[in-house]
Chains A and B, each alone.
Chain A
């Protein structure tokens, strides 16, 4: 009978726990407001936080007939924008106007307004990282102008604009800047943080009918510690990403070595490494860039069939890449004095003893340091046409 008693006791204990616990933490999925993106701005002295909240009932999922508590037409999300003295305060304000509990575990993008970024982002980072439900893999992005305007774009291709920002981040870089990487570079020696820049564009020229706003990700926001110091756009920005070895098959515009027009060369399998040298207290860093090139487009009248021509194309791409990167690095050194490439970190990692000697003077050394760019690019593939196809042999300019 001992056996029976044992079982009875166990069952009894079990029932007790059910009474005691009362399903704490239980939260039905339809009592939760999924925050999928957030835009943070500075308004005078206050924070303005705009939450992008998913409306699952509107998102066209099967079996959602008759559901949906949304009031924003046929959009699958709605914005909730509040202001408060502190960042956390905005969240509490927002909750006051929301019948479902704000749930941040699925927040995957953070849009930081330009003004706020210039003032410094460090104070708000704590809230974004302290609570375990916050994702460190969320993508922070700096916006041109106010952040909530970007978050409120139509962005018709994705369900949510925040999702679009995220996807763009993945297209932009191989290892997009996540919150974790961003904080890491704020705190590390010898590297300054940077973030991609998001801005609003129109999908068609403005005076067309049915204009929709869209999101564009272009350029790099340069930080010094946690403060935005400037923005680099277009070619130098792309070149800098290439120099980091983070570019996703970039295509480089090249003026034809002879004749009229230009060509595009795609750089596959690109990779880079930094080699610091210190000689007689003179610090220099060599950026080695390796890539394989593919001629994807020849809109010039320059022939690309002969070996001599390919060699000169190769020379041209080397020069172009070298110039672009050097220009970008010059901007970083002279204009912003910010080391987003992590040249200092390369010294720190490869010559730790030397780094200890110079780390206090690093920002004095950095602007005038010599940076050598050595691209190693091989054009492997010129396509199957071997020459500009719309031109007759007589019209093609040969080397």
Chain B
């Protein structure tokens, strides 16, 4: 664990030490080269793809003498492509006229498909088939051809479900990696946009793309990320979450050190600020790093609306993060330790409401907060039609019946609802979860020690945050370590014509606009 913190992994991996081979044992045929005859082809492929009903073997006669075998997996290829661009030209015998060399009966110039690859081992051939290519084997040839006919039904580009905006693009990433890279490319028409591709997962062979802007991102950072990605040895990657947990700086911190987004515009915004994004095939999320805590409180719309509105919204968020974290704890502390801190009339009405409650305030608060979390969880997991029933149950049972039965007090219900609303104002879901999680220890501290306990909790959190990093960038950077230009996008959202420089976490090309020509009221650098 200590290794990950410093970002350098110790050379002998623990898995290697125990000599546990990674991945499933593969059939021996994969290690052999491709045979010569049609029969050997058939035998080998039936061995590799045994019990795989979705693999299609199609015999084609390329010429009266030459027997061909076309192999692909139904569903992940585009059948129309195979039919129009492979079967049709092959069967028409277009090749006949040029079979001077029987060994090389076709080449990529003759098939109207863009990606063609020649392979000569079964391992490579099988990988190609699994990655949505059509494999063409020819009797009498040790070479096989892989034609990329990627297809199959996948979700189209839709509005992002998790980050909706009022003003801003409506498109979101999909599960298809290349659609996602294209969505980024559409927005960044520069050759400095790099998309490093790698495959992670011995079984899933998931395509993972590390993307960044070459002339903006810190090269050391990119090298570090590449290293960390290359060190991953895992059987499968199904979501960006796998990668996130495997490459973050502080695996034991409750705070998220990368942020994920469904929005191409957010991704591009981050790339432009010198960060990198990791796209994983099959996941509609881009992982972005390094992050600071302030980013967790910024929504993409902050930058699309005029800065007055954005500032107001941002400050509301700051306030509500504090509420989400501390309100129940403050309520507990004040009602059980510091009854002198509230105005008389308020404390009397709270006292009146609590008169018949059998539990201490801390227990009452824990019950309510836990049931709220349970309700929220139930609402998320359940199908939408049942979900409504949950919210009715929650509102009636917890909101009203519990108060009328004298089990919880009405002020407590207000506190819990306020906290719930407050935690929904946090734009990054992973950060919101963290805040909700930390609420419970702080509530316990408040129940045990009052305001003193809350302060202890706050101090511990602050200490943790100040020493935390995300890919070597301090988590609170901007305020700690302090950087004057960075505060323009932390405490406030300065108007665009004031944010002349990129965040200081980027070490190259910090200037993002020319202040002199943009016609801003103060056409000068700095503020």
Interface members, chain B 341-370 (any A CB < 8 Å) = 344, 347-357, 360-361
Give the docked Cα–Cα distance between A217 and B2 (Å): 74
Q: How far is the CB of B5 from chain A (nearest CB, A)?
A: 7
Q: How far is the CB of A187 from chain B (nearest CB, A)?
A: 26
Interface members, chain A 1-36 (any B CB < 8 Å) = 1-4, 7, 18, 21, 23, 25-30, 32, 34, 36
Give the docked Cα–Cα distance between A312 and B46 (Å): 122
Asked whether, in the complex, the Cβ of A29 is within 8 Å of the Cβ of B406, the reply is: no
Asked whether, in the complex, the Cβ of B355 is within 8 Å of the Cβ of A103, the reply is: no
The count of chain A contact residues (Cβ–Cβ below 8 Å) is 38
Within 8 Å of chain A (Cβ to Cβ): is B433? no
Asked whether, in the complex, the Cβ of B352 is within 8 Å of the Cβ of A61, the reply is: yes
Asked whether, in the complex, the Cβ of B355 is within 8 Å of the Cβ of A30, the reply is: yes
Q: How far is the CB of A138 from chain B (nearest CB, A)?
A: 11
Interface members, chain B 438-452 (any A CB < 8 Å) = 447-450
A interface majority secondary structure: loop
Give the docked Cα–Cα distance between A26 and B332 (Å): 10
Contact of B339 among A32, A59, A69 (CB under 8 A): A32
Give the docked Cα–Cα distance between A18 and B339 (Å): 22
Given contacts A59-B349, A64-B353, contact A23 B449 (CB under 8 A): yes
Asked whether, in the complex, the Cβ of A103 is within 8 Å of the Cβ of B449, the reply is: no
Give the docked Cα–Cα distance between A105 and B339 (Å): 8
Q: How far is the CB of A33 from chain B (nearest CB, A)?
A: 10
Asked whether, in the complex, the Cβ of B353 is within 8 Å of the Cβ of A63, the reply is: yes
Within 8 Å of chain B (Cβ to Cβ): is A68? yes
Q: How far is the CB of A202 from chain B (nearest CB, A)?
A: 27
Asked whether, in the complex, the Cβ of A3 is within 8 Å of the Cβ of B5, the reply is: yes
**A residues less than 8 Å from B409 (CB atoms):** 63
Asked whether, in the complex, the Cβ of A64 is within 8 Å of the Cβ of B450, the reply is: no
Asked whether, in the complex, the Cβ of B5 is within 8 Å of the Cβ of A59, the reply is: no
**B residues less than 8 Å from A64 (CB atoms):** 352-353, 355-356
Asked whether, in the complex, the Cβ of B337 is within 8 Å of the Cβ of A29, the reply is: no
Asked whether, in the complex, the Cβ of A26 is within 8 Å of the Cβ of B336, the reply is: yes
Closest-by-CB residue of A relative to B334 is: A29
From A2, A4, A18, name the one whose CB has the most chain B CB atoms within 10 angstroms.
Answer: A18
**B residues less than 8 Å from A66 (CB atoms):** 356, 406
Within 8 Å of chain A (Cβ to Cβ): is B479? no
Give the docked Cα–Cα distance between A340 and B348 (Å): 36
Within 8 Å of chain A (Cβ to Cβ): is B340? yes
Place the interface of chain B in its size category.
Answer: 20 to 34
Give the docked Cα–Cα distance between A381 and B340 (Å): 46
**A residues less than 8 Å from B5 (CB atoms):** 3
Asked whether, in the complex, the Cβ of B351 is within 8 Å of the Cβ of A56, the reply is: yes
Asked whether, in the complex, the Cβ of A67 is within 8 Å of the Cβ of B406, the reply is: yes
**A residues less than 8 Å from B347 (CB atoms):** 29, 34, 106
Within 8 Å of chain A (Cβ to Cβ): is B266? no
Given contacts A30-B354, A54-B348, contact A25 B2 (CB under 8 A): no
Within 8 Å of chain A (Cβ to Cβ): is B527? no
Q: How far is the CB of A107 from chain B (nearest CB, A)?
A: 9
Give the docked Cα–Cα distance between A28 and B360 (Å): 6
Closest-by-CB residue of A relative to B5 is: A3
Within 8 Å of chain A (Cβ to Cβ): is B515? no
Within 8 Å of chain A (Cβ to Cβ): is B252? yes
Q: How far is the CB of B330 from chain A (nearest CB, A)?
A: 14
Asked whether, in the complex, the Cβ of A106 is within 8 Å of the Cβ of B448, the reply is: no
Asked whether, in the complex, the Cβ of A29 is within 8 Å of the Cβ of B351, the reply is: yes
From A25, A29, A34, A65, name the one whose CB has the most chain B CB atoms within 10 angstroms.
Answer: A29
Asked whether, in the complex, the Cβ of A56 is within 8 Å of the Cβ of B449, the reply is: no
**A residues less than 8 Å from B348 (CB atoms):** 34, 36, 54, 56, 59, 61, 106
Contact of A56 among B337, B349, B404, B448 (CB under 8 A): B349
**A residues less than 8 Å from B361 (CB atoms):** 28-29
Within 8 Å of chain A (Cβ to Cβ): is B403? yes
Interface members, chain B 399-448 (any A CB < 8 Å) = 403-404, 406, 409-411, 447-448
Asked whether, in the complex, the Cβ of A18 is within 8 Å of the Cβ of B410, the reply is: no
Give the docked Cα–Cα distance between A133 and B337 (Å): 12
Contact of B344 among A23, A36, A57, A62 (CB under 8 A): A36
Within 8 Å of chain A (Cβ to Cβ): is B1? yes
Given contacts A21-B449, A36-B344, A133-B340, contact A30 B406 (CB under 8 A): no
Given contacts A29-B336, A66-B406, contact A108 B355 (CB under 8 A): no
Within 8 Å of chain B (Cβ to Cβ): is A261? no
From A2, A25, A63, name the one whose CB has the most chain B CB atoms within 10 angstroms.
Answer: A63
Q: How far is the CB of B328 from chain A (nearest CB, A)?
A: 15
**B residues less than 8 Å from A27 (CB atoms):** 336-337, 339
Q: How far is the CB of B334 from chain A (nearest CB, A)?
A: 9
From A2, A30, A62, A65, name the one whose CB has the most chain B CB atoms within 10 angstroms.
Answer: A30
Give the docked Cα–Cα distance between A105 and B409 (Å): 23
Asked whether, in the complex, the Cβ of A59 is within 8 Å of the Cβ of B352, the reply is: yes
Given contacts A3-B2, A18-B448, A63-B410, contact A108 B344 (CB under 8 A): yes
Asked whether, in the complex, the Cβ of A68 is within 8 Å of the Cβ of B355, the reply is: yes
From A1, A25, A54, A64, name the one whose CB has the most chain B CB atoms within 10 angstroms.
Answer: A64
Asked whether, in the complex, the Cβ of B403 is within 8 Å of the Cβ of A63, the reply is: yes
Give the docked Cα–Cα distance between A30 and B356 (Å): 8
Closest-by-CB residue of B relative to A57 is: B355
Within 8 Å of chain A (Cβ to Cβ): is B335? yes
| Per-residue B-contact encoding for A55-89, CB less than 8 Å = 1, 0 else | 01111111111111100000000000000000000
Closest-by-CB residue of B relative to A62 is: B410
| Per-residue A-contact encoding for B199-224, CB less than 8 Å = 1, 0 else | 00000000000000000000000000
Q: A28-B360, A64-B352, A64-B355 are in contact. List 16 more A-B contacts (CB 8 A).
A: A3-B5, A21-B449, A23-B449, A26-B450, A27-B339, A28-B361, A32-B351, A56-B351, A56-B355, A57-B355, A59-B348, A61-B349, A65-B356, A67-B352, A68-B355, A106-B348
**7 A-B contacts, Cβ less than 8 Å apart?**
A1-B2, A29-B336, A30-B351, A34-B347, A56-B348, A61-B348, A63-B409
Binding site for A on B (CB under 8 A): 1-2, 5, 252, 335-337, 339-340, 344, 347-357, 360-361, 403-404, 406, 409-411, 447-450
Give the top 7 A-B pairs by smallest Cβ distance, nearest first. A61-B352, A105-B340, A67-B355, A67-B356, A56-B352, A56-B351, A63-B410
